[in-house]
Structure 1
Amino acid sequence: MPAKPVKPRKPRSSTPSPAGGRRREGASSAPPARRGARADASAPRREAEDAPERDPAPARTPRVPRETSKRTRHQEFAAKPERLHKLLAQSGYGSRREMEEMIEAGRVAVDGETATVGLLVSPGARVKINGKLVQLKFSNRLPRVILYHKPEGEIVSRDDPEKRPSVFNALPRLSGGRWVAVGRLDFNTSGLLLFTTSGELANRLMHPRYNLVREYAVRVLGEISDEARLRLREGVELEDGPAKFAAFEDAGGDGANRWYRVALYEGRNREVRRMFESVGVVVSRLMRVRYGPFILPPGLRRGQVREIEAPDVQKLLADFGLDVPAPGRPLHRPRER
């Protein structure tokens, strides 16, 4: 089969280029840049002499790193420097005493240097505990306080080897800081549980010298004799020392079950149940209905949270002798996620 004749290719435009080659009409005189190729540093830059002058481009605002921006924004609310152990306590990392012990152990660093007890810290300082950066809340930032209606079957702990449901899973999530539980309730006990973002406030609410009353609704099988009531009011001996109820009232009941309202001024482990067991009575249901000035709201269902309003939190801080944000200042509230 004879070969097909090849059609000759049409020659390109003969317009000479500055480099001595040929180029198309209307095309740029600069050679096309190959993808991925580096610019030749030896090649002179071509500038148009007849090009009109242009206004210089406005200077771009330098980008502020996220962490620096966050610290700067917090300085708008910042007060005077505060002592490190106090600052960590009110930020929710433990009591003042626990923070002092942590600092003495060399576990806290400020701006890369190992901290010492009594060190004053200003807003913007980088504080780390065990090498991890922590969020600080100065005293002019109002802490948060919430009421939680704990159901039975939840544990008041973040770490449980048995992997049981935790009360902390039901709380609002914080962008900085953490929730501190005010006391505890047993796994099988329901009712009022307080949380706050201030470790110092939590310590005051739990300290025995403030004598905050804890009131419970108790259900038992059958009635309790007058002799047993008297013993529970005057005091019974437990493994960890004597205990007694400050109040003991009959709350009625249907059938074989009877309800009682009891109150005491301390919160030892399973104390109410152990006190009833000491007089031969088994508790079938236990619910805390009051803690200090807080009463379990009737409309707060199990598993629900209610936050205390800012004026009530300010009053609470004043009642316990803690620093209160000055009126008119913006009150810092951590954002929820």
Structure 2
Amino acid sequence: MRKKAAEAAAPAAAQRVQKVLAAAGVGSRREIERWIREARLRVNGEVPSPGTKLERGDRVTFDGRVVHWRAAGGAESHVLLYHRSPGDALDLKAATSRAAEQLRLPRSGGRWLAIQAMPPVDGGLEILTDDGAWADRVSRGAHALTVDYMLRMRGRLNDELVAEFLAATDSEGEPMAILAAVATYGEGANHWLNATVRATRPAVVRHWWAARGLIVGRLMRVRFGPIQLTRELPRGRSRALTSAERGALLEEIAAAADASSLEPSVA
């Protein structure tokens, strides 16, 4: 299992160990509580109770590795939901600079990263963060999340093809998992398709339809796990993810890992 030290911002007031480490992206609260039960996580050399609160100077270890603390008042990490237009390359510097102005964010102390970025030809929901540990944690669990794509298509779409797509398990040898597919038929040859997938790249979806004579003119990601892209966020704009949304994302990853009996690891 790959493990490395994670940094968490020490709270001004004592908070429960699972809350602090979950906020740092070390794991979900559910995972951290399990690690406590398994005696893998220790505070000052002792296995804590789930209600143990961390104080400044406490030494936290996971499987013998130290979880380092940043001093209170250190640089706050940020996670953004960015609405990218299809066809526009993801320019992290430009996107985060605009977001800093729009949202009046304090200056970031870290390097911005994109989590599971969409290909340049596609667009929609992008998640950006300057928290490397949190980004690593989410990226390693993203394959288990369900994702919604919105496709605009041109060609002879019908119910039989939609049913075939829903039953597909691969495209040109690459695995795909289609959990739901709902078509909205337009006039002429233009149609829309809402698809829910897991561990399926946008390019694989495009190739599958192209092999059947339909061209995907636009593909947008509109949901990533519990995070939704809504009409309230215009293209080219960002909003900060709330702590509840960040926690929900980690919880969904943890639930999927539990279901698949995956071994947890620390970012």
TM-score normalized by the length of structure 2: 0.59
2:179 matched residue in structure 1:
246
| 2:155 corresponds to 1:222 | yes
| 1:59-117 Cα deviation digits (max 9, x unpaired) | xxxxxxxxxxxxxxx8775989xxxxx9xx959xxxxxxxxxxxxxxxxxxxxxxxxx9
Offset of 1:194 from its aligned partner?
1.5
| Partner Cα separation in structure 2 for residue 291 and residue 209 of structure 1 | 9
2:79 matched residue in structure 1:
145
Q: What is the count of residue pairs matched by the alignment?
A: 199
CA contact (8 A) 2:227 2:245 kept: no
| 2:208 corresponds to 1:275 | yes
| 1:127-158 Cα deviation digits (max 9, x unpaired) | xxxxxxxxx87xxx6x4322111012322366
Unaligned runs of 5+ in 1: 1-73, 81-85, 92-116, 125-135, 159-164, 322-337
Partner residue of 1:193 out of 117, 121, 126: 126
Which protein has the bigger helix share? Answer: 2
Partner residue of 1:156 out of 78, 87, 90: 90
CA contact (8 A) 1:216 1:286 kept: yes
1:119–1:238 distance in 2 versus 1, CA, 3 Å: same
1:196–1:257 distance in 2 versus 1, CA, 3 Å: same
Offset of 1:176 from its aligned partner?
0.3
CA contact (8 A) 1:155 1:166 kept: no
| Partner Cα separation in structure 2 for residue 240 and residue 169 of structure 1 | 40
Higher Cα Rg: structure 1 or 2?
Answer: 1
Which one has more relative contact order, counting CA pairs under 8 Å at least 6 apart? 2
CA contact (8 A) 2:144 2:253 kept: no
1:225–1:155 distance in 2 versus 1, CA, 3 Å: same
CA contact (8 A) 2:176 2:199 kept: no
Farther off after superposition, 177-186 or 193-202: 193-202
Aligned-CA RMSD value: 3.9
1:197–1:249 distance in 2 versus 1, CA, 3 Å: same
Unaligned runs of 5+ in 2: 1-8, 16-20, 27-63, 255-267
Which protein has the bigger strand share? Answer: 2
Offset of 1:249 from its aligned partner?
0.6
| Partner Cα separation in structure 1 for residue 251 and residue 181 of structure 2 | 31
| 2:171 corresponds to 1:234 | no
Q: What amino acid does structure 1 have at the position aligned with 2:110? A: G
